Amino acid sequence: MAGEHGDNYCYQLVHYIRRFQGMESLEALSPPKTIIINQDFAQCHGVAPFYLGDLFDIPSRSHPRYGNQGGQFTDTTETNHLAVMQVARDTKFVYFYARAREPWDGVDFDYVVDIGTGELRKSAGFPRQWEYYASIKVVNNGNNELHFSLLYQMLNIGVL
């Protein structure tokens, strides 16, 4: 499939599930709010909408890889089960807060926040090949809570 379709089909699926399966309407955005990236994780209280995860629902996975990646995808780690996620914004930054069910462990995404080095890294291929993207301030409570901010320019989006 030339050019691929990215996440468009996933977004379309979610849209139609919300429309025809009677899901609740999306929660309205809270007003812009500046978050100071420090040990005060309570700053995100009142930021809406927020994601509240279903706890204990991450299964082990074993299935063929998607598309031309070949091989079998197997993951039995069941790590980084997110309990709560929130996103705040102001005129300069987008702020991310996340709390996992258990202490943080390694992850596999298009971008990864290295909480040890304070770097945002971008995927440079599979498996787990990362390249430096930007230095950021990440505050981790040493267990299962963290928050960080990214400039709008890092995300290649306009001010929300």
For residue 11, is it within any domain?
Answer: no
CA-based nearest residue to 76, from 56, 62, 55: 62
Average pLDDT, the chain: 79
Residue with tokens 């989006």: 157
- pTM of the predicted model as reported, rounded to 2 decimal places: 0.69
pLDDT in tens, 55-83: 666 567 777 776 777 777 777 766 667 78
User: Does residue 21 surpass a pLDDT of 70?
Assistant: yes
- pLDDT the model gives residue 95: 94
Nearest-angstrom CA–CA distance, 105 and 122: 17
For residue 4, is it within any domain?
Answer: no
CA-based nearest residue to 2, from 64, 63, 68, 65: 68
Q: How many domains does the chain have?
A: 1
For residue 114, is it within any domain?
Answer: yes
For residue 14, is it within any domain?
Answer: no
Lowest mean pLDDT, pick from 12-21, 46-55, 106-115? 106-115
Nearest-angstrom CA–CA distance, 142 and 36: 18
Query: Which residues are 62's β-sheet partners?
Result: 74
For residue 67, is it within any domain?
Answer: yes
Phi, psi of 93 (to 5 degrees): -125, 160
According to the per-residue pLDDT averaged within each range, which of 14-28, 80-94, 104-118, 146-160 is highest? 80-94
Look up the domain containing 73 and give its range: 28-155
- Retrieve residue 133's tokens: 């993207």
For residue 2, is it within any domain?
Answer: no
Give the residue with greater pLDDT, 44 vs 156: 44
For residue 33, is it within any domain?
Answer: yes
pLDDT class of 26 with cuts at 50, 70, 90: confident
For residue 127, is it within any domain?
Answer: yes
